[in-house]
Amino acid sequence: MTVQAADKTASLTEQDVARIREDFPILSVTTSSGHPLNYLDNSATSQKPRHVIDATSEYYSGKNANVHRGVHHLSELATKAYEDARLKAQHHINAPLGCEVIFTKGTTEAINLVSHSYVRAKLKAGDEILVSAMEHHANIVPWQLACEVTGATIKVAPIDDNGDIIVEEFEALLSEKTKFVGLNFVSNALGTINPVKELIAMAHKHGAVVLLDAAQAMPHCRIDVLDLDCDFLACSAHKMYGPTGTGFLYGKAGILKDMPPFLGGGDMIERVSFEKSTYNSLPYRFEAGTPNIAGVVGFGAAFDYVDSIGLDRIAAYEDELLEYGTGLLNEIPGVRIIGNARKKISVISFVMDAAHPHDIGQILNDQGIAVRAGHHCAQPLMDRFGVPATARASFTFYNTKSELDALADGIRKVNEVFA
């Protein structure tokens, strides 16, 4: 961890970013095309700093044991590291209780946990779930599966041509039939930052319970679950410089206590007999089996790394990159940005008159530039904008303006190739 500043709200300097880049070994690799790696696919997964890599390695080399189940030295070390990560997650989102943080494989599993253990038991025919038109498939399909079982239906709040949710129409769709609301905090495909606090308050007025998909928000936005008053929040470590296969679900303790287990097995039980089993207390009731201990330890290290730099400084610098990159792409003939919301994180999705997004991605790859091309697990959103796919450049605090210059040059190359 290399960046410290007295003013945690000031943006990162070029010198800061140069030092940060030294913490990420993968940023120094050369691609198969012979070019230096220009990694602009951070919304899919972020790269990992040495601090996270070392924490994961040190767990395996010096603490490897199962958690919560042993009295020997290694088990005590592993359990402490695992539970320390829970406390870091609790602090990061300002959750009142550590037991409200449940470790999962990631955002998708966290949402499915809520779908199976909470939503299905609460819904009946005629009830409604409200989502927005910009949701990730992981915040659509679990609710569709719940509706198939219960007879409930899904309502979709529309968005405008800029990619902003239409708040008035969202509110109009709420009624006494609305039992549950699933919203992304930030759109992975557009970068839109939704006014979630306002939307949650509207939903609560009608008695609805709200889950926030915060997978894209965690690396970029300050999250305070007390201030937002969300009932559930789901996120993934790998979006925030941590390991893959790890994430957590936050839930209000009063709701979680009444939910049955999602998975059965070891560690989620209190007492087992062939006649009846009783279940463990929170959060362990929802953490069946041996967890991804190394991943959770690495997630804790990722929280430390982000805190050492300062989330406000990260956000300020990423805003600069977004403004700079948007200006560059707007100057290139034949490029159209999809998603120009009032508030955005550092994501630019675009299409070109000259080429399909997959061709854009391949030509950029030939120049060492990694972007995502496709529907971004948001096919209904692509349908809303009348496109089959977009090319998406997503950047974070280790990216530079020179990399965005290279992206713009690469896009001009696409125009040349297809001219």
* pLDDT at site 5: 46
The arithmetic mean of pLDDT across residues 13-31, rounded, is 97
54-307 has which CATH code? 3.40.640.10
- C-alpha 101/C-alpha 94 separation (Å) is 11
- C-alpha 309/C-alpha 330 separation (Å) is 31
pLDDT single digits (tens) 243-293: 999 999 999 999 999 999 998 888 888 888 898 888 888 999 999 999 999
Contact 281, 271 (CB under 8 A): no
54-307 and 14-30+310-418 share a CATH fold:
no
Confidence of residue 10 (pLDDT cuts 50, 70, 90): confident
* pLDDT at site 8: 58
CA-based nearest residue to 303, from 160, 150, 92, 143: 92
The arithmetic mean of pLDDT across residues 164-174, rounded, is 98
**Structural domain spans, the chain:** 14-30+310-418, 54-307
Strands 128-132 and 178-184: parallel
Lowest mean pLDDT among 32-36, 156-160, 187-191: 32-36
CA end-to-end distance (rounded Å), the chain:
46
User: What letter does residue 117 receive in the DSSP assignment?
Assistant: I
The catalytic site residues sit at 377
pLDDT single digits (tens) 390-407: 999 999 999 999 999 999
Lowest mean pLDDT among 65-79, 200-214, 222-236, 363-377: 65-79
Residue % of the chain over a pLDDT of 70: 98
H or E element at residue 278 = strand 277-279
Residue 4 has pLDDT above 60, yes or no: no
Residue 6 has pLDDT above 50, yes or no: no
Q: How would you class 44 by CB atoms within 10 Å of its CB: exposed for 0-12, middle for 13-18, buried for 19 or more?
A: middle
Confidence of residue 369 (pLDDT cuts 50, 70, 90): very high
Query: Topology of 14-30+310-418 in CATH?
Result: Aspartate Aminotransferase, domain 1 (3.90.1150)
- C-alpha 173/C-alpha 182 separation (Å) is 13
Confidence of residue 7 (pLDDT cuts 50, 70, 90): low
Lowest mean pLDDT among 16-25, 77-86, 257-266: 257-266
On average, the pLDDT of the chain sits at: 95
pTM value is 0.95
Q: How would you class 280 by CB atoms within 10 Å of its CB: exposed for 0-12, middle for 13-18, buried for 19 or more?
A: middle
Residue 70 has pLDDT above 90, yes or no: no
Strand, helix or coil for residue 250: strand
Contact 173, 165 (CB under 8 A): no
Distance of CA 299 to the CA centre of its chain: 13
CA-based nearest residue to 104, from 96, 112, 92: 112
